[in-house]
């Protein structure tokens, strides 16, 4: 499958947005591990904004950046949201309530607990009626999401926004599912080149091969610590504009190979 | 209703509901579609870490109707790596975490025998089924509320068309858990009666549990006589509210229109619509409006939620299978428990099942977050 990259959005420790991240990954700027700043989207009315949880804010934030960079209207674009888990604070709150004698679950918390809360809020914020889905593939959530996005873009011949996000859980869930740090990434992919395209990805499913890693140990720690950050080797290749091949770990039994090229003719 | 296709068909034909009265601590008085016998199900050797109600039910469903044999034959034909897995769930095995929270130790830690990835994580059923069926192609779990296992057919169809795989397992499981019982109760959406969709006195959902699986293949030159075609599908978003459907049914209408468009069919080509029809006041009214706008008032409709309860993330696959049975047996199921149809609703809603030629069925699945999907199934020959 061949798709073209029009825009990227990113949030991670020391990765504030795509422009500054690209400068860091190409060695033009120094890396400073500043904490992730998550801000609610101004696209939602105040009453909805108040109810937004961290996963919703973060995913909409990176999605918005990617669409802005791509100069593409989210209202006409299908989206795929992918994450290895739901909103940690929300799920912890519900589980605590259920373990108490009152068992009073807050209705807002319940609707925020569904895996597709970010995609639901996205459609409300961007006023889009286009298809959107929400996937979970545990540690391969980014990889599987990318495969789905490429299939949808090429088969349906339409632009697709991929939004992948994962945040650490609070305890006691953190101990059983340690996620190192907050990370989210969004890619706008199209089946044919456009004026905004800056890279071409040829994506295929391969027998299992070792995943491409990051040479800088600080970034490698982020990569292995967060399923969405498994995208970092691909993002590094995109930042460098190098003709290269990246291998991403997928579900047991296969890997996803991505040939990255600057050829967008 | 029982396990397997014959039991499901016989319950539909006899108008036999699987709902039972149940009360939960804290005064939740409701009816549920609870599956008997799951407590004693043993998972296959080597998969013990996956033990939870959701995977037990998935295992039971996979063992029905010669399904594992059909998958083995597909594996032989295409190779394990050329078969994908597109499953869905809304709450996965979160019941294990609910139980683990009750067993936290003095410092708040979860018990040591709790397995997060194999039970609670949404991908649990995906990894479990891949191992059980020995499938090594791409695997995803869709979790888009109550449209989940309908949308998974779209994922499978696209991946087959993209040439990445030759066949796919589509389906999933959703089991009862406190999260959904108390969650839907908090929203005031749970009925204290057996749910009665499209009824003038409808007052909310009955939560059910369910699982189902389908083997989807590229259209072969020789179509098997009892095969069902996935003729088209349509997905849309309401862009309205997280837990309430668009009152004018805009998203529902778009999903149905897009399904017809993708199938290259007109509304008159559809013989029966298995509506989402969960028996909420707003949801049924919005869907009725959308159905009438797209189809007019003639196309027979019914909701099978009165038989199964609302199986949430499994509703898509359960009702796809019911729709396939409708085609294979030329039988339109009724809407058990629905008494007097709401006079404000205008679609051709059937309370009684009847025999009729059924060649094409639309199955609707709509969910939280305004997530909508309509599928069109067709008799293969």
Cross-chain Cβ contact A114/B142 below 8 Å: no
The reply to whether A171 touches chain B by the CB within 8 Å rule is yes
CA–centroid distance for B335 within its chain: 17
Whether A152 and B158 lie within 8 Å, measured CB to CB: yes
Q: What pLDDT is recorded for position B219?
A: 86
The one-character DSSP state at B293 is H
Q: What's the CA gap between B110 and B121, in Å, rounded? A: 15
Task: Inform me whether the C-beta atom of residue B235 falls under 8 Å from chain A C-beta atoms.
Answer: yes
Rg for chain A, CA atoms, rounded: 18
Q: State both tokens at B137.
A: 């192609």
Name the β-bridge partners of B302.
B274
Q: How far is CA A151 from the centre of its chain?
A: 17
**Does the CB of A44 have a partner CB in chain B at under 8 Å?**
no
Strands B210-217 vs B167-174: parallel, antiparallel or unpaired: antiparallel
pLDDT tens, position by position, B137-194: 999 999 999 999 999 999 999 999 999 999 999 999 999 999 999 999 999 999 999 9
Residue A231's nearest CA partner among A158, A148, A156, A141 is A141
Annotation says B310 is catalytic = yes
A116 and B369 in contact by Cβ < 8 A?
Answer: yes
Q: Does domain A2-198 have CATH number 3.30.470.20?
A: no
Residue ranges of A 122-151 with Cβ closer than 8 A to chain B: 123-124, 126-138, 141, 144, 147-148, 150-151
What's the confidence (pLDDT) of residue A28? 98
Can you give the pLDDT at residue B287? 98
What angle is formed at CA B204 by the lines to CA B277 and CA B310, rounded to 5 degrees?
55
Q: Please answer yes or no on whether B161 and A155 come within 8 Å at the CB atom.
A: yes
With contacts defined as CB-CB under 8 Å, which chain A residues touch B144?
115-116, 119, 132-134
Cβ neighbours of residue A198 closer than 8 Å, sequence gap 6 or more: A5, A6, A238, A241, A262, A264
What residues in A contact B49, CB-CB < 8 Å?
none
Chain A residues with CB under 8 Å of B104 CB are 99, 172
**Are B179 and A114 in contact (CB < 8 Å)?**
no
Provide the residue ranges of all domains of chain B, joining segments of one domain with +: 5-379
Which among A53, A108, A114, A204 is the top mutation candidate for probing chain B, defined by the most B β-carbons within 10 Å of its own β-carbon?
A114
- Asked about B81 being catalytic, the answer comes back as no
Tell me the C-alpha distance between A85 and B41, whole Å. 27
State phi, psi for A176 to the nearest 5 degrees: -95, -15
Tens digit of each residue's pLDDT, chain A (265 residues): 999 999 999 999 999 999 999 999 999 999 999 999 999 999 998 888 888 999 999 999 999 999 999 999 999 999 999 999 999 999 999 999 999 999 999 999 999 999 999 999 999 999 999 999 999 999 999 999 999 999 999 999 999 999 999 999 999 999 999 999 999 999 999 999 999 999 999 999 999 999 999 999 999 999 999 999 999 999 999 999 989 999 999 998 899 999 999 988 7
Sign, CA dihedral A251-B141-A87-A60, equals: positive
A203 touches chain B (CB under 8 A): no
- Which of A109, A136, A153, A169 should be substituted to probe chain B, the one whose Cβ sees the most B Cβ atoms within 10 Å? A136
Contact across the interface for A85 and B184, Cβ inside 8 Å: no
Residue B359: other Cβ atoms inside 10 A: 13
Chain A residues with beta carbon closer than 8 angstroms to that of B159: 147-148, 151
Report the distance separating Cα B39 and Cα B206, nearest Å. Answer: 21
In this structure, the dihedral spanned by the alpha carbons of residues A202, A205, A208 and A214, taken in order and rounded to 10 degrees, is: 30
pLDDT, residue B194, reads 98
The residue of chain A with its CA nearest to that of B253 is A129
In degrees rounded to 5, what are phi and psi of residue B286? -65, -40
Cα B152 from Cα A4, distance rounded (Å) = 25
Catalytic residue flag (residue B373): no
* Rounded CA separation A144/B137 (Å): 11
* Nearest Cα residue to A29 out of A16, A42, A40, A41: A16
Closest C-alpha to A40, from A21, A59, A12: A59
Q: How far apart are CA A202 and CA B165, in angstroms?
A: 17
Nearest C-alpha neighbor of B277 from the set B352, B377, B339, B366: B366
B25–chain A nearest CA distance, Å: 8
Q: Which residues of chain B are under the pLDDT cut of 50?
A: none
Burial class (CB in 10 A: 0-12, 13-18, 19+), B27: exposed
Please report which helix (H) or strand (E) contains residue B83, including its range. strand B83-88
Contact between A136 and B187 using a beta-carbon 8 Å cutoff: no
Contact status, residue B31 vs residue B184, Cβ threshold 8 Å: no
Interface predicted TM-score (ipTM) over 0.95: yes
β-sheet bridge partners, residue B141: A136, B87
For tokens 């997530």, name the residue. B371
Residue A32 C-alpha, separation from nearest chain B C-alpha, in angstroms: 32
Mark which residues 255-294 of B lie under 8 Å from A by CB. none
Does A59 contact B at CB distance below 8 Å? no
Options B276, B301, B337, B373, the catalytic residue: B276
In this complex, is the C-beta atom of B348 within 8 Å of any C-beta atom belonging to chain A? Answer: no
Q: At what angle do helices B315-329 and B5-14 cross, to 10 degrees?
A: 80
Q: Does pTM top 0.95 for this prediction? A: yes
Distance CA A82, CA B126 (A): 15
Tokens of B292: 């009438």
- Helices vs strands, H then E, count in chain A: 10, 8
- Domain B5-379 matching CATH 3.90.550.10: the answer reads no
Pair A212, A127: CB distance under 8 Å: no
Cα torsion through B321, B326, B327, B330, rounded to 10: 160
């Amino acid at each position: 499958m061949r798709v073209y990259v029009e825009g990227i959005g990113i949030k991670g420790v020391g990765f504030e947005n795509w422009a500054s991240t690209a400068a860091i990954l190409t060695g033009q700027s120094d890396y400073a591990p500043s904490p992730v700043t998550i801000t609610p989207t101004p696209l939602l009315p105040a009453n909805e904004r108040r109810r937004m949880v961290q996963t919703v804010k973060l995913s909409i934030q990176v999605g918005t950046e990617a669409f802005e960079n791509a100069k593409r209207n989210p209202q006409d674009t299908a989206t795929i949201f992918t994450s290895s888990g739901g909103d940690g604070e929300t799920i912890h709150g519900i589980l605590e309530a259920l373990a108490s004698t009152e068992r009073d679950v807050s209705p807002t918390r319940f609707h925020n607990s569904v895996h597709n809360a970010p995609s639901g809020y996205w459609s409300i914020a961007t006023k889009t009626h286009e298809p959107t889905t929400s996937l979970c593939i545990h540690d391969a959530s980014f990889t599987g999401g990318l495969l789905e996005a490429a299939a949808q873009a090429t088969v349906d011949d339409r632009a697709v926004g991929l939004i992948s996000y994962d945040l650490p859980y609070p305890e006691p869930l953190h101990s059983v599912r340690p996620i190192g740090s907050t990370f989210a990434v969004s890619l706008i992919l199209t089946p044919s080149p456009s004026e905004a395209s800056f890279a071409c990805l040829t994506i295929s499913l391969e027998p299992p091969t070792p995943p491409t890693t990051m040479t800088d140990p600080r970034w490698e720690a982020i990569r292995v610590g967060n399923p969405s950050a498994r995208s970092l080797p691909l993002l590094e290749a995109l930042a460098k504009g190098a003709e290269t091949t990246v291998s991403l770990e997928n579900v047991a039994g296969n890997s996803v190979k991505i040939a990255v090229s600057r050829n967008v003719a | 209703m029982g396990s397997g296709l014959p039991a499901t068909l016989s319950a539909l034909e006899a108008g036999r509901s699987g709902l039972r009265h149940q009360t939960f601590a804290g005064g939740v008085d409701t009816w549920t579609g609870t599956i008997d016998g799951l407590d004693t199900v043993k998972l296959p050797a080597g998969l013990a870490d996956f033990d939870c109600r959701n995977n037990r039910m998935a295992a039971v469903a996979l063992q029905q109707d010669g399904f594992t044999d059909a998958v083995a034959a597909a594996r032989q034909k295409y190779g394990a790596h050329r078969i994908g897995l597109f499953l869905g769930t809304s709450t996965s095995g979160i019941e294990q975490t609910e139980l683990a929270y009750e067993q936290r130790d003095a410092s708040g830690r979860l018990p040591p025998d709790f397995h997060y990835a194999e039970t609670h994580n949404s991908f649990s059923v995906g990894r479990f089924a891949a191992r059980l069926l020995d499938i090594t192609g791409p695997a995803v779990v869709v979790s888009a509320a109550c449209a989940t296992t309908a949308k998974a057919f779209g994922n499978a169809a696209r991946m087959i068309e993209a040439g990445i795989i030759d066949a796919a397992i589509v389906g999933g499981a959703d089991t009862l858990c406190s999260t959904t019982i108390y969650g839907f109760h908090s929203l005031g959406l749970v009925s204290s009666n057996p749910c009665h969709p499209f009824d003038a006195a409808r007052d909310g959902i009955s939560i059910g549990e369910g699982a189902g699986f389908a083997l989807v293949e590229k259209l072969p030159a020789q179509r098997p006589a009892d095969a069902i075609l996935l003729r088209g599908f349509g997905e849309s978003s309401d862009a309205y509210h997280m837990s309430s459907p668009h009152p004018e049914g805009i998203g529902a209408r778009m999903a149905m229109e897009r399904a017809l468009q993708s199938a290259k069919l007109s509304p008159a080509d559809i013989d029966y619509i298995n509506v989402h029809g969960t028996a909420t006041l707003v949801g049924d009214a919005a869907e009725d409006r959308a159905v009438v706008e797209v189809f007019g008032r003639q196309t027979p409709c019914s909701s099978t939620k009165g038989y199964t309860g609302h199986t949430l993330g499994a509703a898509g696959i359960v009702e796809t299978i019911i729709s396939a049975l409708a085609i294979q047996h030329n039988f339109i199921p009724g809407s058990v428990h629905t008494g007097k149809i709401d006079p404000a609703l205008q679609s051709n809603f059937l309370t009684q099942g009847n025999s009729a030629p059924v060649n094409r069925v639309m199955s609707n699945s709509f969910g939280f977050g305004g997530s909508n999907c309509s599928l069109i199934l067709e008799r293969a020959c």
